[in-house]
Amino acid sequence: MMLKQHLLFVLCSVCGTVVKEAATKNKAKGSQSQFPVTQNVTVVEGSTANMTCRVDYNDNTSLQWSNPAQQTLFFGDKKALRDNRIELVRASWKELTISISEVTLSDEGQYTCSLFTMPIKTSKAFLTVLGVPEKPEITGFTRPAVEGEDVTLTCITSGSKPAADIRWFRNDKEVQGVKEVNATGRSFTVRSTIHLKVAQKDDGAAYTCSVEHIALNSTPHQVTEVLEVYYAPQVEIVPSLIVPQEGQYFKLECTSKGNPLPDRVLWTKDGGVLPDVERMIVEGRELIITNLNKTDNGTYRCEARNHLGTNSDEYALFVYAKNLPGTSDPNALTQHGPDHALIGGVVAVVVFITLCFIIVLGRYLARHKDITRERQEMWFISSRKTLALPIITL
C-alpha cells in the first residue's frame, strides 16, 4: 500500500514538471515572437511609400504606426491622422501596412511600429526620400563670343537629394568643370563651371551639361548649347589650271570663311582695278578670264572683310605660249605626274635590292673559294707527312 502511494506521488510530480516546462517554453516562445518587424524604405519624391509592420505571434494585440513627429497614423484599422495621402493597405493581427502617396522630402524620417503588449514593443523603420534634380540650365550663351575672348559657361540644377553630379562634354569628349554644392532647405543646388578662351575651332562646338542622380536611374538630364564664335575672314585663291596657256578659259576662285561670313570679295590686279572688264568677269567669289593672253600676266588679289577685320590672298599669273600641234598639254602631264613618280620609285627600289643581292652573293662565293683552297693545302701537307714517316723510322 505504501509502495502504491509512493509511485503515485512520483508520477504526479513528473507530470507537473513536464506541464510546467511546456508552459514555460510556450510563454518564452510567445514572448520572443511578439516583437514587430519592419524594414527601411527608400522612394523617389512624388512616388508612393508602403510601410509594413509584421509580427509572427500575436494574442489579439493591436499594431500601430506613428510618423517621425510621434503622431499616430493608424491604430489597427482605425485612421488617426487626417491626411488624405495616407491610406490603409492591410490590417490584421499579424500585419499592419499603410501607404503614403505623393511623398515629399518632409515625409523623410524614422517611423515607429508599436505592439501594445505589456510592456509595449516597438520597431523602427527609416523612410528615405530621394529628391529629383530639376532639368539643368546653361548660362553664358547670351551673345556670340569673339575669337580670343574669355567665356565662362555655368550649368545649374536644383532640387536634388543627395546632391547630383554634373558632367560636361564638348561634342563627344568630356571636359572637366569646377563643381559647387549649396544646401537649399532639404535639397541641394549644384552648379558646375568651365572657363574657355574661345578660338575659331570652337565655332559650332556643342557643349552638353549632363546631370546624373540615383533618382534618375540611368537616364540623366541633359541640355546642349552650341557655341558661336565671331572671327575675321580667312582667304585662299584656288586656280582652275596649273599651267595656264594663251587662249584658254581660266578661273580663280576666292574661298573665304569667317563669322559673320563676308558678303562679297574684292578683286584687283597689280594693286588696281581689273583692266579688261569684258574678258575679266566677277561672278560671286570667282574671277573668270574667258580668253587668256600675255597681257593678263600679273598679281591678282582677293580681299574679304567683315566687322572684325580684313584678309586677302594673292596669285601670280603667268600665261604660257599655246602648245604647238602634236605636243602634249602640260596640265594633263602635271595631273599624271604622280603616277610616273610612283613607278620610278618602285623601279629604283627594285634595282637597289638587286644590287644588294649581287654584292652579298659575290662576297659569299669569294669566301667559299678561299675556304676550299685552305682545305686543299691542309690536306696536301697532311699527306706528305704521312708518306714521310716510314722513311724516318728505317
Q: To 5 degrees, how large is the angle CA 107–CA 109–CA 114? A: 105
* CATH 3.40.50.970 fits domain 137-227: no
User: Which of 230, 226, 248, 228 minimizes the C-alpha distance to 239?
Assistant: 248
Task: Identify the DSSP state of 272.
Answer: B
Taking the C-alpha atoms of residue 36 and residue 123, their distance in angstroms, rounded to an integer, is: 6
Other beta carbons within 10 Å of 224: 12
Query: Which residues touch 301 (CB under 8 Å, ≥6 apart)?
Result: 267, 268, 269, 271, 312, 313, 314, 315
Cα–Cα distances in angstroms (integers) from residue 159 to residues 47, 91, 104, 130, in the given order: 15, 36, 12, 10
Q: Terminal CA-to-CA distance of the chain, rounded, Å?
A: 146
Q: Which residues pair with 127 in a beta bridge?
A: 41, 109
Q: Which CATH number fits domain 232-317: 2.40.50.140, 2.60.40.10, 2.102.10.10, 3.90.1570.10?
A: 2.60.40.10
C-alpha cell at position 119 = 510592456
Consecutive H or E run containing 225 = strand 221-226
Consecutive H or E run containing 122 = strand 121-130
* Cis omega (within 30 of 0) for bond into 260: yes
Q: Do 36-130 and 232-317 fold alike per CATH? A: yes
User: Which of 68, 34, 54 minimizes the C-alpha distance to 96?
Assistant: 54
Q: Which CATH number fits domain 36-130: 3.40.50.1950, 3.40.718.10, 2.60.120.960, 2.60.40.10?
A: 2.60.40.10
Residue tagged 562646338 (cell numbers): 205
Instruction: Please report, in tens digits, the pLDDT of each residue of the chain (394 residues total).
Output: 444 454 444 444 544 444 344 444 444 444 445 789 999 999 999 999 999 999 988 777 889 999 999 999 999 999 999 999 999 999 998 999 999 999 999 999 999 999 988 889 999 999 999 999 999 999 988 778 999 999 999 999 999 999 999 999 999 899 999 999 999 899 999 999 999 999 999 999 999 999 999 999 889 999 999 999 999 999 999 999 999 999 999 999 999 889 998 888 999 999 999 998 889 999 989 999 999 999 999 999 999 999 889 999 999 999 999 875 544 555 554 444 445 556 777 778 888 888 888 887 877 777 766 656 666 556 556 555 544 444 433 3
Q: Where are the domains of the chain?
A: 36-130, 137-227, 232-317
- With beta carbons less than 8 A apart as the criterion, state whether 36 and 53 touch: yes
